[in-house]
Amino acid sequence: MSGTPSRWVKVWDAPTRLFHWSLVLLVAGAYATAELGLIDWHFRVGYAILALLLFRLAWGFLGSDTARFARFLASPLEALRHLAHFTRRGPDTEIGHNAAGGWMVLVMLALLLFQAGSGLFSNDEVMAEGPLAKFVGSAWSDRISGWHVFNFNLILALVGLHVLAVLAYAAVKRHDLVRPMVTGMKRLPAGLPAPRMASAALAAGLFLAAAAIAWVIATRL
């Protein structure tokens, strides 16, 4: 890297970073509240996660360049090629998610969405049931509760892989991915174009709309 001219570039906007670190805290919270039997709080945390995910879906179409699905979803072949060159050292030239990481992000978002969605139809075999359970009847609610429990194991496995991958980038390639997810800034070779950042007001509006949808599901159905 030393010989290559480089500059600091903003790669992650604040909404995406806030989304990520809130998600980390809330997923831990969902697990803890479920394990501790704090079902009311589990529901609240679940609705917050649902709002975050709905926001992230919209941000994937309307947000900053690096948050857009169309920008970071490369062909599966491209993803394999990226992994094949994993041990190659060199400066970090990724402006957003890399070709393999993009797919992992998509799968992670899909599993989390399934988790929050299935929770809405689940019951705890005692008193509590999600707000949509009444629409499907108890046999289906029990079945979906089983999926809700099982799917969380998939999420845990993927999160484990995700954190291992981040550590591997640091250990093998000496690329620090965590700092950009915290500060937004990354040192990239000069000459690489800076991504376009969407407005914070748009993010706030989309988040309010997402939160309103989660609120309606939680309290009005």
Q: Which residues bind ligand HEM (CB under 6 A)?
A: 16, 19-20, 23-24, 27, 30-31, 34, 42-43, 46-47, 49-50, 56, 67, 97, 101, 105, 108-109, 112, 115-116, 119-120, 122-125, 128, 130, 145, 148-149, 152, 159, 162-163, 166, 177-178, 181
Rounded to the nearest whole angstrom, what is the least distance from the CB of residue 125 to ligand HEM in the complex?
6
**What are 188's strand-pairing partners?**
7
From residue 150, alpha-carbon distances to 48, 54, 114, 118, 194 in Å are 21, 22, 11, 11, 41
Distance CA 115, CA 92 (A): 34
Cβ distance to ligand HEM smaller for residue 63 or 208 = 63
Cβ distance to ligand HEM smaller for residue 3 or 73 = 73
Closest of 21, 192, 162, 161 to residue 91, by C-alpha: 192
What residue number has its CB nearest to ligand HEM? 119
Distance CA 184, CA 50 (A): 24
Cβ distance to ligand HEM smaller for residue 50 or 203 = 50
Rounded to the nearest whole angstrom, what is the least distance from the CB of residue 207 to ligand HEM in the complex?
13
Cβ distance to ligand HEM smaller for residue 3 or 180 = 180
Rounded to the nearest whole angstrom, what is the least distance from the CB of residue 172 to ligand HEM in the complex?
15
Rounded to the nearest whole angstrom, what is the least distance from the CB of residue 145 to ligand HEM in the complex?
4
Rounded to the nearest whole angstrom, what is the least distance from the CB of residue 146 to ligand HEM in the complex?
7
Distance CA 59, CA 31 (A): 26
Rounded to the nearest whole angstrom, what is the least distance from the CB of residue 83 to ligand HEM in the complex?
14
| Amino acid identity for residue 19 in this structure | F
Cβ neighbours for 184, distance < 8 A, ≥ 6 positions apart: 10, 11, 12, 13, 14, 17
Tokens found for residue 169:
């980038």
Q: Can you give the C-alpha Rg of the chain in angstroms?
A: 19
Cβ distance to ligand HEM smaller for residue 36 or 208 = 36
Cβ distance to ligand HEM smaller for residue 3 or 61 = 61
Cβ distance to ligand HEM smaller for residue 24 or 172 = 24
Burial grade of 193 (CB within 10 A; 0-12, 13-18, 19 or more): exposed
Rounded to the nearest whole angstrom, what is the least distance from the CB of residue 30 to ligand HEM in the complex?
4
